[in-house]
Amino acid sequence: MQDLIYLDYNATTPTDPRVVEAMLPYFYDKPGNAASRTHPFGWIASEAVDQGRQQIADLIGAEAREIIFTSGATEADNLAIKGVFELYQRKGKHIITVQTEHKAVLDTTAYLEKIGAEVTYLSVDADGLIDPKELEAAIRPDTILVSVMWANNETGVIQPMAAIGEICTRKGVLLMSDATQAVGKMPVCPREAGVHIMAFSAHKMYGPKGIGALYVSYRQPRVKLATQIHGGGHEAGMRSGTLNVPAIVGFGKAAALAGAEMKNEAVRLAQLRDLLENRLTEQIEAVRINGSREHRLPHVSNLSFRYVEAEALISTFNRRIAVATGSACSSATLEPSHVLQSMGLTDDWLKGAIRFSFGRFSKESDAVVCVEAISKGIEALRAESPVWEMYKEGII
Ligand SMILES: *Cc1c(COP(=O)(O)O)cnc(C)c1O
C-alpha cells in the first residue's frame, strides 16, 4: 500500500494509532461485560464505557446520558427515524427531509413511506443548500420529524443548522441530523443548534469501524424513541445488546483527539484542499467546484471535469490515488450522484465528478501528486475525445 495515496477520508478514516493503543487492553486484559455487576471485570468495563461516553458527550456539548451507542451511523439514523415514526404516530405521519441526504436516511424514509408515512423531500439550490423558508412552509400540523444532515458526505456542504433548529423549535417539531461527516471536523453542538437527535460514527473520525452513536436530547425536550433492537434493555432501553467496550474506548479516545486537534487540523487541511483546487482550476479547462465554497467542510473538494468520465480518469492512474466517484455507497451501481443531480448538474458535468477528501495523515505531497495525475489523465482523455473536440469547436 506504500505508493498508494489515500484521498477518500469521507468514506472512512484509518484508525489513529493512539486510538488503537487505548483500545488494546480491553480485548484481553480487561475483557469484562459492562453489564456485569458482580465482579471487578464488569466494573472496569463499565468505567471504561462511562469514560468513553463522557468524552463523546464533551465533544458535542452534550450530557453522557444523551449518548446512545449503536453499530454506526446507519443504525443510528434508522433508530432515530423509525423510532420517532413509531412513537409519534398519534400526532401525525409526516416527515420532512432533503433530497441530498445519505442513503441511510433516504432508504429509511422510503421504507416508512411503504408503511404509511408521508415524506416531503426538500430540494437544494445549486450550492447544495436548503432554503430554511421552504422548510418552514413545508411543516404541517401532522409533521413529526425534520431530518437534515449537518454536512454532506459528497460535497462537504454545511446546512444552516442553527436557522433550521430555530424553525423546528418554534414550530414544536423534532429535528434530527445525520452529523456523521461534521462531528470531529468542525464544532458541532446539537443543543445550541436546536437539534434534538443526532447520528454520528467513529470510523469517520479516526475511531474504529462498527461503532456509532445517537445523541438523544434528555431535557427540553426529553425525546423518546421506540426501541428498534430489543433484548436486555441496554442504553436506556433504546438499543439492547452487549456493549462493544474496546470500540467505545476507541470512539471516546477519537473524540478527545478530535476535540483537541480539530482547530489546527481544519486550517492545515483547508490549505491542502485549496492547493488542489487552485492548481487544478489553473491547469485544466472546464472544471467546476461542486457545492457552496463558503459553507463547506475544510477537507472536502468535489470537482467536475466537463466531458470526462470519472471512471476512465481514475483508470489513467491505475486507481493508485484513492478518490470517490459518485457516492461511495452506491458507486457499485455506477449511477450518477443523487446529490449532484439535486444540485442541478447536467450530464456533461455529472459523469466527471470526483470527490477528494483529505484527512489527518494527508501530506502536501499527496495533493501535489494528485494534481499531476489528474492533469495528465484529463489531457490524455480529452486529446482522444470526439465530444471534447466538438465542444472546443463550438458545435455543442
Ligand atoms: C458514512 C456515513 C453514514 C454511514 O455510517 P456507518 O457508520 O458506516 O453506518 C451515514 N451518514 C453519513 C453522512 C455518512 O457519511
How many angstroms does the Cα of residue 73 sit away from the middle of ligand 1? 5
Q: Report the pLDDT averaged over residues 58-65.
A: 98
Query: Is 381 within 8 Å of 290 (Cβ atoms)?
Result: no
| pLDDT band per the 50, 70, 90 thresholds, residue 335 | confident
| pLDDT band per the 50, 70, 90 thresholds, residue 392 | very high
How many angstroms does the Cα of residue 390 sit away from the middle of ligand 1? 40
How many angstroms does the Cα of residue 215 sit away from the middle of ligand 1? 15
- Burial of residue 74, with CB atoms counted within 10 A of its CB: 0-12 exposed, 13-18 middle, 19 or more buried: buried
Q: Which atom of ligand 1 is nearest to the CA of 329?
A: 1
Q: Which atom of ligand 1 is nearest to the CA of 11?
A: 1
Residue whose C-alpha is closest to residue 158's, from 297, 301, 290, 8 = 297
Active site residues: 329
Q: Report the pLDDT averaged over residues 36-43.
A: 97
Q: Strand, coil or helix: what is 101?
A: coil
Query: Is 60 within 8 Å of 190 (Cβ atoms)?
Result: yes
What is the model's pTM?
A: 0.97
- Considering only 78-82, 98-102, 391-395, which range has the smallest mean pLDDT? 391-395
Residue whose C-alpha is closest to residue 303's, from 181, 155, 99 = 155
| pLDDT band per the 50, 70, 90 thresholds, residue 333 | low
Atom 3 of ligand 1 has which residue's CA nearest to it?
A: 73
In one-letter notation, the amino acid at residue 9 is Y
Q: Report the pLDDT averaged over residues 72-81.
A: 98
The number of beta carbons lying within 10 Å of the beta carbon of residue 220 is 8
β-bridge pairing 118-122 and 94-98: parallel
State the chain's mean pLDDT as an integer.
Answer: 96
Name the DSSP class of 93.
-
Give dist(CA 222, CA 115) in Å, integer.
26
Query: Is 18 within 8 Å of 211 (Cβ atoms)?
Result: no
The number of beta carbons lying within 10 Å of the beta carbon of residue 393 is 8
Residue 29 scores a pLDDT above 70: yes
Kindly give the interhelix angle for 245-283 and 40-59, rounded to the nearest 10 degrees. Answer: 30
| pLDDT band per the 50, 70, 90 thresholds, residue 165 | very high
Give dist(CA 152, CA 340) in Å, integer.
11
Residue 327 scores a pLDDT above 80: no
Q: Tens of pLDDT along 256-297? A: 999 999 999 999 999 999 999 999 999 999 999 999 999 999
How many angstroms does the Cα of residue 32 sit away from the middle of ligand 1? 29
| pLDDT band per the 50, 70, 90 thresholds, residue 341 | very high
Q: Report the pLDDT averaged over residues 225-240.
A: 94
| pLDDT band per the 50, 70, 90 thresholds, residue 3 | confident
How many angstroms does the Cα of residue 380 sit away from the middle of ligand 1? 35
Which residue of 13, 69, 102 sits with most ligand 1 atoms within 8 Å of its CB, as the best mutation to test the pocket?
Answer: 102
Name the DSSP class of 210.
T
Write the CB contacts of 365 (distance below 8 Å, at least 6 apart in sequence): none
Q: Which atom of ligand 1 is nearest to the CA of 74?
A: 9
Residue 31 scores a pLDDT above 80: yes
Domains, the chain, with CATH or none: 5-11+262-392 (3.90.1150.10), 17-256 (3.40.640.10)
Grid look-up 425536550 returns: 221
CA atoms lying within 13 Å on the CB side of residue 342 = 22
Residue 226 scores a pLDDT above 90: yes
How many angstroms does the Cα of residue 157 sit away from the middle of ligand 1? 15
Q: What percentage of residues in the chain have a pLDDT greater than 90?
A: 96
Atom 15 of ligand 1 has which residue's CA nearest to it?
A: 153
Q: Strand, coil or helix: what is 200?
A: strand
Beta strands in 284-352 (DSSP E): 287-289, 300-305, 321-322, 324-325
Element of type H or E holding 133 = helix 132-138
How many angstroms does the Cα of residue 177 sit away from the middle of ligand 1? 12
| pLDDT band per the 50, 70, 90 thresholds, residue 181 | very high
Beta strands in the chain (DSSP E): 5-6, 67-70, 94-98, 118-122, 143-147, 174-178, 197-201, 212-216, 287-289, 300-305, 321-322, 324-325, 353-357
Element of type H or E holding 271 = helix 245-283
β-bridge pairing 287-289 and 300-305: antiparallel
Which residue of 106, 152, 157, 178 sits with most ligand 1 atoms within 8 Å of its CB, as the best mutation to test the pocket?
Answer: 178
Name the grid cell of 285: 479547462
Atom 5 of ligand 1 has which residue's CA nearest to it?
A: 73
Atom 14 of ligand 1 has which residue's CA nearest to it?
A: 180
Q: Which atom of ligand 1 is nearest to the CA of 72?
A: 7
| pLDDT at 396 (0 to 100) | 87
Residue 209 scores a pLDDT above 90: yes
| pLDDT band per the 50, 70, 90 thresholds, residue 332 | low
Q: Which atom of ligand 1 is nearest to the CA of 203?
A: 7
Give dist(CA 356, CA 325) in Å, integer.
9
- Cβ < 6 A, ligand 1 pocket: 72-74, 102, 104, 149, 153, 178, 180-181, 201, 203-204, 212
Give dist(CA 139, CA 137) in Å, integer.
6
CA atoms lying within 13 Å on the CB side of residue 299 = 33
Distances (CA, A) of 310 to 137, 278, 314, 339, 366: 38, 19, 6, 16, 19
